[in-house]
Structure formats: C-alpha cells, structure tokens
Amino acid sequence: MGQDPLGAGSPLRTPRAAAVAGILFSVLMITALTLLRLSVPPSPAVAGTWLTDPGHRAAVAVGLNLVPFAGIAFLWFVGVLRDRIGEREDRFFATVFLGSGLLFVAMIFVGAAAAGAGVASATLSQHPASGTLVLDRDLTTSLLNVYSMRMAAVFTLTTVTIARRTRIVARWLTLAGVVCAVVLLVGIGISPWVELLFPVWILALSLDILSAGPAVPSAQRLAEP
C-alpha cells in the first residue's frame, strides 16, 4: 500500500524548538511591563499627567500592543509543556495548570483592553476627567497586578508540582518556581516590579526545555518503571 502523503495515522509531535514560544512570551511581557512602569507615574494623583508627553503615550501604546502577542505565545507555551509531560499528566494538576494559565491570559487581555480604552478616551478628549482616569487606572492595576499575578502564582506552583513529579526540568528551577510563586502571592503589593519575576522564571524554564534532549516517546514513557 502507498504511503499516505498527509501522514494520516501518525502521532502528532510538537517540535522541541516550540519552547521558543516561552522565550518569546517572556521577552514581550518583560518589555511591555517595563514600558508601562516607566511611562505611567506611580501616583494616582497624577494619573493623566503623562498623557501630555508624546513619548510616554507612544511607550504605553507599544506596551499595550505587545500584550496580545505575549498572550498568544504563552498559550503556545502551555501546549509545549503539556506535550513535554505527555502520558504522565495528572488530571487534577492538569486542570489547575490549564485553568490558571487561561485565566492569566484572559486577565492580562482585559487589563490591557481597559488601559487602552482609557488612553484612547483621554487622548481624544481635550480635558479628560481626572476621576475617569483614576478609575481606569485602578481597574487596570487590579487586573494586571492583583488578579493576573495571583493566577500566575497558581500556574507556577502547579507547574513546579508537575515538574517535580515528572522530572522534566532541572531541580533548581522547581525551587526557584516556589520562591517566585510565594512572592507573587504575598509580595506583589510591595513593588510593581515584582511582577517581572513570572516572565523571568518562564524564560529560564523555556531555556531549560530548549536545551534538554528530545522528548521521550509516549510508548517508551509507559514502558519505563
């Protein structure tokens, strides 16, 4: 019989190089968060002052436009991790892992959309209401700094637990992940720069996956004691 040109019936293999998605997410997220932190003043009392500076407005616009691409790369990265785990995936941890990852992406998308809407409204209006700017700022801050980072912490803890049981990453990464998750859970209010820990840890995890050997086929995984 002739060989199926479409490869029907053959298992779908995610290339190991797809871990580049994690690196891409980290670079985009770190860049976006840094631009937003440097451009928007920390005090709510001057929430609209930066709008008079074209450079600050441009930096904020670039940062917000990077967020959707970072989210897409993160979703791809989640798929890479699930492929790496393979048949050893636990249903309970897999549910929390996937759910927290999806909620994280949803919240950064909503936060970026709220921020973008506020910027657009303030830019079009010659005299934007300060109360509206403060409300939009508080909403964006809550979504990006409080809720999304808590979901990032849950995602990190779940990933660390799965990685420790399946031994798919280096031991030091699991320890660093625990520290990162704890800081994101209890220390996010100390400094807004703390949120950079999550993409930095994802970057280290991606590099570890990228540098590791080829993933073990599913049949061989099941045959191992």
C-alpha 68/C-alpha 27 separation (Å) is 13
SS (H, E, C) 37-60: HHHCCCCHHHCCHHHHCHHHHHHH
Matching residue, tokens 């840094």? 34
Q: Is the dihedral of CA 201, 73, 168, 166 positive or negative?
A: positive
HSE value, Cβ hemisphere, 13 Å, CA-based, for 52? 7
pLDDT at 101: 92
CB 44 within 8 A of CB 124: no
Q: Which of 159, 209, 163, 201 is nearest to 180 (CA)?
A: 201
CA 211 to mean position of chain CA atoms: 21
Helix (H, G, I), strand (E, B) or coil at 138: helix
Helix (H, G, I), strand (E, B) or coil at 96: helix
In a domain, 224, yes or no: no
CB 196 within 8 A of CB 36: no
In a domain, 58, yes or no: yes
In a domain, 82, yes or no: yes
| Tens-place pLDDT, residues 54-68 | 777 788 888 889 999
pLDDT at 163: 77
Structure token digits, residue 78: 């989640």
Matching residue, tokens 């280290």? 204
Q: Is 113 exposed, middle or buried (0-12, 13-18, 19+ CB in 10 A)?
A: middle
pLDDT at 25: 94
**List of long-range contacts for 37-40, beta carbons under 8 Å, 24+ apart:** 37/192, 37/193, 39/63, 40/137
pLDDT at 93: 75
In a domain, 117, yes or no: yes
Domain tally for the chain? 1
Average pLDDT of the chain to the nearest whole number: 77
CB 82 within 8 A of CB 163: no
For 75, other C-beta atoms within 10 Å of its C-beta total 15
In a domain, 222, yes or no: no
Tell me the mean pLDDT per 10 residues along the chain, length 225: 44 58 93 85 57 74 91 88 68 83 93 80 60 72 85 92 78 90 84 88 87 52 42
What kind and span of H or E run contains 174?
A: helix 171-186
In a domain, 25, yes or no: yes
In a domain, 56, yes or no: yes
For 142, other C-beta atoms within 10 Å of its C-beta total 14
**Domain range for 151:** 16-42+49-212
pTM, 2 dp: 0.78
